[in-house]
Structure 1
């Protein structure tokens, strides 16, 4: 009987090892989405679920096609579903405020693209910028019950050493994207058709790249998702790549222990 039990245990362990080996991947890429007008958000969610891919979302309270905001009550169920599916989340500032310059007094000049001061140049102290990073995290916690990762992406990727230092002092680490990871959904579709963007990405993306896309771009008439998203995921999988969130990233994953 012991020999039978031992044999069965060996078979089970061997099976588990085979499953783990099949599920392992030494060519990870890190797909991330910044908020946008949310028009393609349902399609993005369908593709990610169908492809069984986990990504990282960076949240700002952006204007939507419906006339509301990306973090309002209309979208709260959508964010709850993504959180329940195991995706990761970071801050993108509340009003999508892009850094312009450092001030001599240690504050920062920024230009929000959303909110009451959209399009205006405003000034934030380091403390105010930290509060602006925290605001999406607080809203995300209220919507989902989950904590956001202590990671942020500055709108447009615009930063300065002083801005990064201020954010780091209040617990936030900046995440940009790889050169090949710029997937082009912000580009005009008249000059950069979807097929061209897909072919470029499949040719240039390499192991470890952080990829950037959005949940809807106002200026692109030919939606990047789902035209490019699913063929891109399938194509990268066929080349031996796998997808992981920034929780698993060798550099940024170490910050996960400091969840807000």
Structure 2
């Protein structure tokens, strides 16, 4: 997909200047004029639900840059005191559907895989919901049901279904888990090593400037980038400082962006 022509919008000079101060190879002089020619590569931005403290900022930034991304949804506790798949979030998710983003399951109760068990069963521990913090042994069908709960709720909120992809919390998968998901039509989506935003790490040990420089220097054509829509534990949030200059820096280097519906590893999953 690296040579595929796409329209590319160069962001405001202020964002480029900010990126240039952290990553010296960038030039802020490009200002806000369209960049000509085909893209040099494609980056696939993806965002998992979380505290949702950065949800509006992320949505606004993507909209201003005319970027479509992929969102992986779980019903997580938010800074508003509600849950990310409550009816109170319907307008937010409807707007993202209208903008053309893609959506996958992140398991409804943010369910962590713990180990594989005989007979295809999976030991899991939900983070939220009625069984939060309790170890359980699930059949493949129970895991499918958990993935599908997201689709059911998303359809109730937006009138649209999610895409046939999922991301296991923490990215933790296993043969039994992948087989269970495959049996009900879901493909797992991880992220590139360079695509780990670091927003779950300590901001004292991994400050935003370091994370931004690392991402801009390491991301390559085809990489999937992962960040959250808010992390409770990080004192210095990643998105307000890094999302705009990350996008600006990648655009300046000739990258374009697309949803996972266009990723070569998942393209066939979306063909009708």
TM-score of the aligned structures, taking structure 1 as reference length: 0.89
Does residue 50 (structure 1) correspond to residue 60 (structure 2)? The answer is: no
Q: In structure 1, what is the equivalent of residue 225 of structure 2? A: 211
Q: Distance in 1 between matches of 2:248 and 2:181?
A: 36
Does residue 131 (structure 1) correspond to residue 145 (structure 2)? The answer is: yes
Q: In structure 2, what is the equivalent of residue 81 of structure 1? A: 95
Q: In structure 2, what is the equivalent of residue 25 of structure 1? A: 39
Q: In structure 1, what is the equivalent of residue 240 of structure 2? A: 226
Q: Distance in 2 between matches of 1:19 and 1:50?
A: 14
TM-superposed deviation, 1:26: 4.2
Distance 1:245 1:18, change over 3 A: closer
Residue 34 of structure 1 contacts residue 213 of structure 1 at CA under 8 Å; is this kept in 2?
A: yes
Residue 46 of structure 2 contacts residue 227 of structure 2 at CA under 8 Å; is this kept in 1?
A: yes
SS across alignment from 2:199: coil
Residue 48 of structure 2 contacts residue 227 of structure 2 at CA under 8 Å; is this kept in 1?
A: yes
Residue 47 of structure 1 contacts residue 226 of structure 1 at CA under 8 Å; is this kept in 2?
A: no
Distance 1:46 1:197, change over 3 A: same
Residue 36 of structure 1 contacts residue 62 of structure 1 at CA under 8 Å; is this kept in 2?
A: yes
TM-superposed deviation, 1:25: 2.3
> Match for 1:35 among 36, 41, 49?
49
SS across alignment from 2:250: helix
TM-superposed deviation, 1:19: 7.1
Superposed, 1:91-110 pairs within 5 Å as: 91-110=105-124
User: If you compute each CA radius of gyration, which structure gives the higher value, 1 or 2?
Assistant: 1
Q: In structure 2, what is the equivalent of residue 165 of structure 1? A: 179
TM-superposed deviation, 1:174: 0.5
Residue 56 of structure 1 contacts residue 245 of structure 1 at CA under 8 Å; is this kept in 2?
A: yes
Q: How many residues align?
A: 242
Q: Distance in 2 between matches of 1:105 and 1:173?
A: 21
Q: In structure 1, what is the equivalent of residue 128 of structure 2? A: 114
Unpaired runs of at least 5, structure 2: 9-34
TM-superposed deviation, 1:74: 1.1
TM-score of the aligned structures, taking structure 2 as reference length: 0.85
> Match for 2:192 among 178, 184, 203?
178
Q: Distance in 1 between matches of 2:173 and 2:190?
A: 10
Q: In structure 1, what is the equivalent of residue 31 of structure 2? A: none
CA-atom RMSD, angstroms?
1.8
TM-superposed deviation, 1:106: 2.2
Q: Distance in 2 between matches of 1:18 and 1:251?
A: 19
Residues 90-136 of structure 1 deviation map (CA, whole Å, 9 limit, x = unaligned): 00001000101111232110111111222221121100100100110
TM-superposed deviation, 1:18: 11
SS across alignment from 1:225: helix
Residue 59 of structure 1 contacts residue 136 of structure 1 at CA under 8 Å; is this kept in 2?
A: yes
Q: Distance in 2 between matches of 1:57 and 1:176?
A: 12
Unpaired runs of at least 5, structure 1: 1-16
SS across alignment from 1:228: helix
Q: In structure 1, what is the equivalent of residue 83 of structure 2? A: 69
